[in-house]
Amino acid sequence: MPKTSARLLALLSMLQARRDWPGSLLAERLEVSPRTVRRDVDRLRELGYPIVAFKGPDGGYRLDAGTQLPPLLFDDEQAVALAVALQSAATTGAGIEEAAARALATVRQVMPARLRRRIDSLQVTAVDQPATRPIPQVESSVLMALSAAVHAREVLRFDYTPASPPDADDAGVQTPPRRAQPHHLVTRGGRWYLIAWDLDREDWRTFRADRITPRTPNGPRFTPAELPGGDVAAFLAGRFRGSYGSGDGPAAAR
């Protein structure tokens, strides 16, 4: 039987790897009795990990969402991947550079020395696009609002800033909010796009996320239609075909 501390780390790693674990399978993997698994689960709960038990023929445990973020456990590959992603955050256009730097410092502080040395030797320099094609920044709150609407399958209401300024005669004219069924939030070349079915124009549109100002509340739920081309990659390939070098992506979100 492994020592209690090592067994707790192994148990935590397993609970983080998949959603539901039957208690008997945990006991088998850890080579302990179901009673020992129950005691170890109680110890992890005391440390702040929100582990819930579920009933049934294969009753077991899952690591649930809690009110606080308890310590996380990463293997070596996950830790390196996390560090690379955080160092590359400046090129995402999501406006999270400062938060990413703080997160990397926090993760590095609790890493074992051997991993810290690997991270320190892996210095990634994130370079923005040339000034001729600057990457527009998108507020993280906007990305969260768009992603939430996609996940909930709710009609999105938003104001959309056109690519070119309005004519003098149109200046000051209030335009009604756009209404669209959001299907995918995607990033390409440092820019963020919302792929949606435009309810008023009855057509698919690709909206620049940095030009979107969401309105609340969202509209009713909808049943997603099939995306042309069958998947996001095929759809974007068609929309971006011939648009390289324009600096503006697809001209479909008019």
Cα separation, 238 vs 3, whole angstroms: 57
pLDDT digits (tens, 9 = 90+) for 153-199: 999 999 998 776 655 455 555 678 999 999 999 888 778 899 999 99
Question: Is the pLDDT assigned to residue 208 strictly greater than 70?
Answer: yes
Tell me what percent of the residues of the chain surpass a pLDDT of 70: 78
CA-CA distances (angstroms) from residue 61 to 32, 47, 133, 215? 16, 16, 50, 40
CB 202 within 8 A of CB 184: no
pLDDT digits (tens, 9 = 90+) for 97-130: 778 888 878 777 767 777 777 777 766 665 555 5
Query: What local confidence, expressed as pLDDT, does residue 160 receive?
Result: 94
Question: Is the pLDDT assigned to residue 246 strictly greater than 70?
Answer: no
Question: Is the pLDDT assigned to residue 211 strictly greater than 90?
Answer: yes
CA-CA distances (angstroms) from residue 75 to 11, 13, 145? 13, 9, 32
Q: Both ends of the chain: CA-CA distance in Å?
A: 65
Cα separation, 205 vs 221, whole angstroms: 19
CB 251 within 8 A of CB 211: no
